[in-house]
Amino acid sequence: MKASEIRRRYIEFFKNRNHAEIKSAPLIPENDPTCLFTTAGMHPLVPYLLGAKHPSGTRLTDYQKCIRTGDIDEVGDPVHLTFFEMLGNWSLGDYFKKEMIGFSFEFLTGKENLNIPADMLAVTVFAGDEDCPFDEEAYNEWRSHGIPAARIAKLGKKDNWWGPAGTTGPCGPDTEMFYWTGPLPAPETFDPGDKRWVEIWNDVFMQYNKTADGKFEPLAQKNVDTGMGLERVTAILQGKASCYETEIFAPIFAKLDEIRGIDAPAAVRTSSERIIADHLRAATFILGDGITPGKVDQPYVLRRLIRRAIREGRKLGINDAFTSKIADAVIEEFGDVYPELRDRAAVIREELDREEKQFAVTLEKGTHEFQKLIDRVPAHIEKKIISGKNAFNLYETYGFPIELTIEMAQEKGFQVDRAGYDAAFAKHQEMSRAGAEQKFKGGLADSSEATAALHSATHLLQAALRKVLGTHVEQRGSNITAERLRFDFSHEDKMTPEQLKQVEDLVNDAISRDLPIVCEEMDVETAKNSGAMGLFENKYDAKVKVYTMGDVSKEICGGPHASRTGELGRFKIKKEESSSRGVRRIKAVLER
């Protein structure tokens, strides 16, 4: 079964069970400081999991584009991906375990669905501990559908528990479903440690709230959140060892072969080929959501993906510009499902071509730096070595893969301290991961009064920027903590002190007028006709929320917000800087 068919069957299955299909949210989380990118289908639904009313109701389903950056350095093996699609469905205080487990079993085994024989499946449930009891309800539901007791593993919080995202908040047990990928027949007893049992779906039951003193209290609104990785499920159902072997990547590899002039590629794709396919697929989607290469945050990740793909291309002998040609294959393959790719195709190509040209200059500088390292070593020294530290600097600063440094060194009669390089690389990787865990762990965003006020301030800020700089200004990203707001917007030039003061004054004037902040639900067309500003044109569902702040601002937005502008305090811009090409960034606070 092809990925497109699995995606279609999943959405139709839940739509037929009274779920509203919602659109994939952008890859850039809106107003969530905990994540660089949308990492799961639940991410855009955080406010509704916390109790806000969703315009489309209490039963939802979608396919969500996701980016996960923790394993970028592992991409190249048959398993890891940077970009992937997550199939999901949600109950927001509606049905719970009985219905969801029934849905899961029916979708997995139904002839018109995935048609998996039940004897190929196994499941896990939460075993219980001193905090929360054994999930007997989930266990009994699986038994009622004929899953033998020997195929149900009871595991602890490490394996069968979700959340909270921070130290407190919503959390609960989950149940995971596994498919046997080894020789037939499948073992009668499920061993979760046997890697031939591969997880294909996860149902999370948010039924507790963890308090500051460590207690787990029942939630008033119990939610269901599920996730099924499309690429993984496709590979499993097709009996492929890797998702790179499925039709999902076939057009990308075909374009890569065409660029290289290869008529008969090897049966198994190389690490370099997989890196190029994954990274440029991810980069195309990120560019499609309005991010351009830069030095910090999402723009930096984007640049890293593109440049790593270019380096791998050079290993394969591709010395001419090629990234935009791969992007064309991605756009052709996914443009019908994600229309924003077609809408921004010209910009995607332009940005990739520009980045490729800039990187060529960087590589030239790196070659010059390499030569300086060589020239420092006296000619009479017999054993000439480039230190691991210097080799890693060539990689980190100039994008030189270690293989290229070793090859160039050998041509000059030098050796490279590979062990020293590996140690420096491992230390860098460890620090990156630790930073990601701290800054971008993802999950439930803060929804306090302070963040709601700052969220309202971003609407006033955007209205002021459009008045001072022009109507070309549009939001390109928003990151809010309880202490400050960070707002990225489209604008080429550095703002002058006079412009910044004008913007500040306009925002503070709106605050001093104590305007009411009114939320209305309406269809997208009505919202646009009413003059509401909308961003990310392809992300909206049939019904949306529109927040109006007097005569100053009217925007399509999910919330949350303050009730009046007078509650915000005094608005103060702390910094204005470049975020990426054509995008400026403002950091501001509300002084109370």
pLDDT in tens, the chain (592 residues): 999 999 999 999 999 999 999 999 999 887 666 678 888 888 888 788 878 899 999 999 999 999 998 778 788 888 889 999 999 999 999 999 999 999 999 999 999 999 999 999 999 999 999 999 999 999 999 999 999 999 999 999 999 998 886 677 789 999 999 999 999 999 999 999 999 999 999 999 999 988 888 899 998 899 999 999 999 999 999 999 899 999 999 999 999 999 999 998 888 899 999 999 999 999 999 999 989 998 778 888 899 899 889 989 988 999 899 999 999 999 999 999 999 999 999 999 999 999 999 888 888 888 889 999 999 888 888 888 999 999 998 888 777 778 778 878 988 899 999 999 999 988 876 765 554 444 433 334 556 788 889 999 999 999 999 999 999 998 888 888 888 999 999 999 999 999 999 999 999 999 999 999 999 988 888 988 888 887 645 567 778 889 999 999 999 888 789 999 999 999 999 999 988 888 899 999 999 8
Q: Residue 209 pairs with which residues in a beta bridge?
A: 170, 217
Beta-strand pair 121-126/152-155: parallel
88 three-state secondary structure: strand
Q: What share of the chain is helix, strand, coil (3-state, %, to 5)?
A: 45, 25, 35
Residue 484 · residue 551 · CB < 8 Å: no
What per-residue confidence (pLDDT) applies to 438? 43
Beta-strand pair 20-21/59-67: parallel
Residue 306 · residue 352 · CB < 8 Å: yes
Long-range contacts formed by 327-332: CB under 8 A, 24+ apart: 327/280, 327/283, 327/284, 327/287, 327/352, 328/255, 329/251, 329/252, 329/254, 329/255, 330/252, 330/280, 330/281, 330/284, 330/285, 331/284, 332/251
- What amino acid is encoded at 299 in this protein? P
Q: Which helix (H) or strand (E) holds 411?
A: helix 402-411
- What amino acid is encoded at 81 in this protein? L
What per-residue confidence (pLDDT) applies to 442? 36
* Separation of first and last alpha carbons in the chain: 58
Instruction: Please tell me the number of Cα atoms within 13 Å of 115 on its side-chain side.
Output: 8
DSSP assignment of 227-261, as one string? EEEHHHHHHHHTT-S-GGGSTTTHHHHHHHHHHHT
- What amino acid is encoded at 557 in this protein? C
Would the CA dihedral through 445, 448, 452, 457 be positive or negative? negative
In this structure, how many other beta carbons lie within 10 angstroms of the beta carbon of residue 27? 24
Residues making up the annotated binding site for Zn(2+) are: 455, 459, 557, 561
Strand order in the sheet with 553-556: 517-523, 543-549, 553-556
Residues making up the annotated binding site are: 455, 459, 557, 561
What is the phi/psi pair of residue 542, to 5°? -60, -40
1 three-state secondary structure: coil
- Which residues, other chains included, contact 84 with Cβ-Cβ below 8 Å and sequence gap of 6+? 66, 68, 229, 230, 231, 232
d(CA 228, CA 236): 12
What per-residue confidence (pLDDT) applies to 443? 39
d(CA 450, CA 560): 11
d(CA 41, CA 23): 11
Beta-strand pair 169-180/121-126: antiparallel
Peptide bond into 185 cis (omega under 30): yes
What per-residue confidence (pLDDT) applies to 537? 56
Tell me the H-state helices in 412-523.
Answer: 418-439, 449-469, 497-512
Residue 322 · residue 259 · CB < 8 Å: yes
What per-residue confidence (pLDDT) applies to 476? 85
d(CA 484, CA 477): 14
The number of residues making up the chain comes to: 592
d(CA 344, CA 360): 25
Q: Which two tokens stand for residue 307?
A: 């440049």
Q: Residue 521 pairs with which residues in a beta bridge?
A: 545
Which domains does the chain possess?
Answer: 3-242 (3.30.930.10), 249-361 (no CATH), 370-439 (no CATH), 449-591 (3.30.980.10)
459 three-state secondary structure: helix
Residue labelled with tokens 């908040």:
169
What is the phi/psi pair of residue 298, to 5°? -60, -45
Q: Which two tokens stand for residue 420?
A: 């020293």
Residue 127 · residue 160 · CB < 8 Å: yes
Q: Which of 7, 37, 22 is nearest to 442 (CA)?
A: 37
